[in-house]
Structure 1
Amino acid sequence: MVFTVMQLIGGIILSVGWIPQIVQIIKTKSVADLSLKSYLLMLLGILLMEAYAVQLAAQGVGLAFLITNSLSLAVVSMVVLLILRYRTRSK
């Protein structure tokens, strides 16, 4: 139980850590210094872990991992979408 709580807290902290980047992009409408390749690789890694998290949750374990990984997937997807949106506009 303690490790599940630690997983949830750690995963939430890691996911919430992306929010300042999202706010900064929206505020400045600039993604000039962000690497799309890096974020796409990160997104791919999270997607692969998401498949594993779904399998664990289907077996009745790893629900905390699924929740926190899904949150990370959502926020990193948002960064990628914002990069695509604002890179296209600036060209």
Structure 2
Amino acid sequence: MLFSVLQLIGGVILSLGWVPQIIQILKTKSVSDLSLKAYLLIFLGISLMEIYAISLAVNGAGLAFLITNTLSLCVVLFVITLILRYR
């Protein structure tokens, strides 16, 4: 139980770490200093972890990992969308 709570807290903190970047993009409407390739690689890595998280959750373990990983996946996908929009 303790490790699930720690996973949730850590995952939420990691996901919220992207918020300042999102706010900066929305304010400036500039993504010239961001690498689309880097964000696509991050997205690929999180997507692969998402598959693993789903398999854990199906087997009755790792729900916290699935929740936080899904949140990170959505946030990174949003950054990629912003990069493509403001390019």
TM-score strictly above 0.5: yes
Q: 1:42: Cα distance to partner? A: 0.1
- Partner SS state of residue 81, structure 1: helix
2:48 pairs with 1:45? no
2:73 pairs with 1:73? yes
2:60 pairs with 1:60? yes
- Partner SS state of residue 30, structure 1: coil
Aligned twin of 2:14: 14
TM-score by length of 2: 0.99
- C-alpha separation in 2, matches of 1:4 and 1:54: 15
Q: Which runs of 5+ in 2 are unaligned?
A: none
- C-alpha separation in 1, matches of 2:54 and 2:4: 16
RMSD: 0.4
- C-alpha separation in 2, matches of 1:23 and 1:74: 16
- Partner SS state of residue 31, structure 2: coil
Q: Identical aligned pairs, as a percentage? A: 71
Aligned twin of 1:31: 31
The size of the alignment, in residue pairs, is 87
Q: Which runs of 4+ in 1 moved over 3 A?
A: none
- C-alpha separation in 1, matches of 2:58 and 2:84: 33
Q: 1:31: Cα distance to partner? A: 0.1
Q: 1:37: Cα distance to partner? A: 0.4
Aligned twin of 1:5: 5
2:59 is matched by which residue type in structure 1? Q
TM-score by length of 1: 0.94
